[in-house]
Chain A
């Protein structure tokens, strides 16, 4: 019964998300473009799929995954588990949090793989590149970036070092990479930063940030709990650019080799 109520609540919320888009497209079709829409029936059926699909997806997440993710974040940051039974545990020592970094990295990776907006962008990238960019290659590269970013973000919360230092260092790396990376992949790499953090990743990562900053002595959840999302949207840019550089390096090496042998 609760599930049914949840479903309709989410349906209402998703409809509200879709409403501005429907109004905007309706206005432009009727007032500005004034031409029949090709495949209108197909688009309408597809929109219904989006509405119902997203609603089921979100209802399921809120019912199953988010509570579990939050419970796990709480349990993992609980001093009993961190101490692993031993009485003496220095909670200010960053080395006490091994499981947290592993959890941050793996859950960041896993939620990014399931992120619908990343699936959409990877699909388009493969289509546009004529298959040169593989969907799974891009998604796994981005997910590795998020995994690294979130565990580094967890490290930052534990050590209490200022956020902007990390972000600035990350920007520096991106700027340097931009000069050396193949031009065609740069826009896609920049985009992959923004798409990683939506429906699936944000709630679990936010719970991890808040739980962790509450557990570490001297951290304020209101200030230190933020910033994990920023990490998750910066590091995929670095990994995608690095992937592009590696691919370019490998292909030029493959081109050079036969020439040398001659």
Chain B
């Protein structure tokens, strides 16, 4: 297949325009909400309007390119990996891949680093942690590792579920009940952060990869339905961090 992404013929131009229009539709609600509140409720002049419009243009082009790259790269990579690893037939390598995918994409996530620092600050203010940079840094580091480990473990568990055909709702409901039980004994300072940690762990690059991996596996393995079995990996990746972070709180601070 020949690649000529920047060739300027009428077909390419209409393709690019189509993509841009799609992204413009995706972004339209934000523009409407901001315009409504600025014009009707706040009624104050917008600071740096020109710069903002230019930023919006960047967002538009960026989103179109990302979606194009999604179909060209991220989905095929995840699917290829699922096919190749299941053809190889080695459970060990598949599990190792699942765990490393979750762990490596989470451990350096900037949102997680920021939340871990904030969590240390809150614990210090709550009198749970000594006001000393070293203690706080080691607490934040431990929290980060806990979350990264839990995401790795979550993807591993989700892949295992697809292989062994465990029903997802029992696992997730069991997880919810566990979260509720741990909430009752975990220190209050960590509960809010634990709940939020579940949401921030799944980044824009990880989600398409993990989804393609799950759907790919469910397509290759006989007797699995891609819709019924392929999804659900992200659900584990947002549930387990809650449990593990509260568990970390219980271990570090006691009940």
Contact = CB atoms under 8 A, between A and B. Distances in A.
A136 B46 CA distance: 31
Interface residues of A, number: 101
Nearest to A164: B183
A110 interface: yes
B30 A114 contact: yes
B157 interface: no
Interface in B28-57: 29-30, 32-34, 36-38, 41-42, 44, 46-47, 51-57
B143 interface: no
Contacts of B30: 65, 107, 110-111, 113-114, 200
Given A20-B105, A128-B230, A50 B205 contact: yes
Interface in A11-49: 13, 16-18, 20-21, 23-25, 28, 32-33, 35, 37-39, 41-49
B128 interface: no
Contact of A46 (B69, B122, B168, B179): B69
Contact of A198 (B41, B81, B204): B204
Contacts of A174: 176
Contacts of A202: 111, 199-200
A69 to B, nearest CB: 8
Given A60-B58, A64-B54, A164 B191 contact: yes
Contact of A190 (B42, B172, B191, B209): B172
Interface in B182-205: 183, 188-189, 191-193, 195-196, 198-205
Interface of B: 1, 3, 5, 26-27, 29-30, 32-34, 36-38, 41-42, 44, 46-47, 51-77, 80-81, 84-85, 88, 90, 93, 97, 100-101, 104-105, 107-111, 118, 121-122, 125, 168-169, 172-173, 176, 179-180, 183, 188-189, 191-193, 195-196, 198-205, 207-209, 211-212, 215, 225-235, 237-238
Interface of A: 3, 13, 16-18, 20-21, 23-25, 28, 32-33, 35, 37-39, 41-65, 68-69, 71-72, 75-76, 81, 99, 103, 106-107, 109-111, 113-114, 116-117, 119-121, 123-125, 128-129, 163-164, 167-168, 171, 174-175, 178, 183-188, 190-191, 193-200, 202, 222-223, 226-227, 229-230, 232-233
